[in-house]
Amino acid sequence: MRRLVTFTSDFGTRDSYVASVKVRILAGDPQTEVIDVTHEIPPFSPALALPPLIDIMAVSPPGTLHLCIVDPGVGSSRKALAGEGKDALFVLPDNGLAALLCAWIEDLRFYHLDTPEIFGGKATPTFQGRDLFAPAVVALTSGRYTPKDLGPLIPTGSLTPHADISPENQLLVWNIDHFGNVLLDYFTLRPPESVAFVHEGRPIPFVRRYQDVSRGSLGCLINSSGWLEVFCREGNAAERTGMRLGHRVTVRVAGGAGRRILSTGQTTP
């Protein structure tokens, strides 16, 4: 049976890294189909992989495996993990992202890949995406193993926490998309009544659609995936505002309910 694998990383596409991981997976399990989510996560920033993971999980069929390698700790003592929950499987390093996923999604369980030799993996010093994580993917997609077969359960509270928590009313820029739209780490559960966001002394209007502002004007809205987005109609909001990946901006959201990436996982009023 064909198994979908989504692949998210900070590898970029100019080198052979992405292809090497995919070839290793497909050589081990030719029935697998690997879907590239993005390989442009800012290097060494695992928290910024959470939103695309949340987005792709929302449209993935049951049984999809999500491989996410944004790994500042490669070659260190950080753990390699396999996980399961919400009709999905996960393979990723224990660098804060797994703990964030547990804060967002209930009943996830992660296991330490402490003996990679049992599934043909090696904990090499620099390219564990190819040498350790790809064989773990094959072990799971082929049906030879389940996550709990690959190592001991790690209690959720023992996962490496992500220590960088955003202050109240400070939202993180987690992506600048192809169109220059600025995506902020507010995920809507119930639509807000208002969003107060000021740029260079002028408020950016909170609207429902791009067409609700004139051409070349800034606006903000809740996009179709649920994220708060700053846009410039038929222009580039990132260039207009100077906002960049990793920036924090002051925004006040009133009414409704939502969640943030770098938070304790509680909803915000």
242 and 145: one domain? Answer: no
Q: Is 31 helix (H, G, I), strand (E, B) or coil?
A: coil
pLDDT at 201: 86
Extended beta strands in the chain, E state? 3-9, 32-38, 64-69, 80-85, 88-93, 109-112, 153-154, 170-176, 182-190, 194-196, 198-199, 202-203, 218-222, 227-232, 248-250, 252-254, 257-260
Q: What is the pLDDT of residues 234-259, one digit of tens each?
A: 999 999 999 999 888 999 999 999 99
Domain around 188: 170-260
Domain boundary among 111, 128, 158: 158
Q: How many Å apart are CA 162 and CA 122, to the nearest integer?
A: 26
pLDDT at 254: 93
29 and 141: one domain? Answer: yes
Tell whether pTM > 0.85: yes
Specify whether the CB–CB gap between 113 and 120 falls below 8 A. no
What are the angstrom distances between the C-alpha of 134 and each of 8, 28, 69, 201, 267? 13, 9, 10, 50, 35
186 and 206: one domain? Answer: yes
149 and 45: one domain? Answer: yes
81 and 198: one domain? Answer: no
40 and 154: one domain? Answer: yes
Q: What is the pLDDT of residues 26-78, one digit of tens each?
A: 999 999 999 999 999 999 899 999 999 999 999 999 999 999 999 887 767 78
Q: What is the pLDDT of residues 162-199, one digit of tens each?
A: 766 666 678 999 999 999 999 999 999 999 999 999 98
What CATH number corresponds to the domain at position 251?
2.40.30.90
Domain boundary among 95, 127, 158: 158
Domain boundary among 135, 158, 181: 158
Reported confidence tier of residue 154, pLDDT bands at 50, 70, 90? very high
Rounded to the nearest integer, the mean pLDDT of the chain is: 92
pLDDT at 48: 92
pLDDT at 200: 84
pLDDT at 2: 78
pLDDT at 72: 81
Residue 245 lies in a domain: yes
Q: What is the pLDDT of residues 94-140, one digit of tens each?
A: 999 999 999 889 999 999 999 999 999 998 888 999 999 999 999 99
pLDDT at 170: 85
What is the count of structural domains for the chain? Answer: 2
